[in-house]
Chains A and B, each alone.
Chain A
Amino acid sequence: MSEIPDTTAYLIAGYTLFVLGTAAYIIYLTVKWKKIVRLKSEQADLLKRRQQH
């Protein structure tokens, strides 16, 4: 009976890539989202102040 090859290191590398790659994209989206929400809120304040003047 042949032995099962030890490819554990490649399994770890594969799933590390999945986790880090996906996490990086979620972080990228979160940063972009926070930035745009802050910009929108600043614009709303600016519009309000201009309408008051």
Chain B
Amino acid sequence: MQSLFPKKYLLLDIIATILILCAAAMVFLYAPTETNMGLVQKVFYFHVAYAWVGMLSFVVACAFSIVYLSKKDLRCDLASEAAVEIGLVFTLLAVGSGSIWARPIWNTWWTWDPRLTTTTIMALVYIGSMFLRKSIDDPNKRGRILSIYCIIGCASVPLTFFSIRGYRSIHPVVIGGASSGMNMTPEMLQTLIFSVIAFTAFYLALLAHRYTYAKVREDVEITKLELEDMDE
């Protein structure tokens, strides 16, 4: 099993899996079908959860970057690397699912609405961060530059979150705002909240695995250098 996944996170993996299955059951069996949009509205529960995890992950990356800059602890840079990668995956899936929802509702796959535009900018900022990480070999220099980049890049998160509140947007406002809650019934709201909790647990499990991978990779790099020194 060691070659497949680290065992120490097994409990977290099981909890996250159960929560996601329960969230899926709530979406399909508990939450009612919305009368104006039909079944496609059910994409919304996971879409919001994915978007939430994406933004949360970038904030987490920023927090680890701040700690790295103050303590120079390489583990914080590795955690930041893990958070950025996961955040990007979730953001891209949220954008993709949003586009599928938009086709029957807005009659278009894509529009340059403030929310969609700022989300694209946020995703591009973090794609840039991943390219930058690959381009720097020195771990200390890489950690320092990437931490500053992540802290500045984190400004894209509140920009994305508040874009539908400060500007005229056709994107629905789930929390706060005139169309708050999208006229959700209590069952819909409970399903949404449960989905967000389930995917947050899943995020923590993924972060733990991705961080462990990064840590092992660093150990391998160090051993590789030691072996090269022994050869010389």
User: Which A positions have Cβ atoms within 8 angstroms of B?
Assistant: 2, 4-8, 10-11, 13-15, 17-18, 21-22, 25, 29-30, 32-34, 36-40, 43, 46-47, 50
Contact = CB atoms under 8 A, between A and B. Distances in A.
A25 B227 contact: no
Contacts of A38: 3
A45 to B, nearest CB: 11
B4 A14 contact: no
Interface string B181-218: 00000000000000000000000001001100100110
Contact of B209 (A4, A8, A11, A29): A29
B2 A18 contact: no
A38 B206 CA distance: 21
B177 interface: no
Contacts, number: 94
Given A14-B97, A29-B209, A37-B3, A7 B39 contact: yes
A29 B2 CA distance: 14
A40 B43 CA distance: 42
Contacts of A33: 3-5, 209, 213, 216
B89 interface: yes
Nearest to B88: A25
Given A17-B93, A47-B226, 13 more contacts: A4-B38, A5-B37, A5-B104, A10-B100, A10-B104, A11-B39, A17-B100, A21-B93, A33-B5, A34-B4, A36-B216, A36-B217, A39-B220
Nearest to B97: A14
10 contacts: A7-B37, A8-B38, A10-B43, A17-B97, A17-B100, A18-B50, A21-B89, A29-B213, A36-B220, A40-B223
Interface residues of B, number: 39
Nearest to B215: A36
Nearest to B47: A14
Contacts of A34: 3-4
A36 B41 CA distance: 41
A18 B38 CA distance: 19
B219 interface: yes
A14 B104 CA distance: 12
Contact of A21 (B33, B35, B96): B96
Contacts of A17: 93, 96-97, 100
Contact of A11 (B40, B219, B230): B40
Nearest to B223: A43
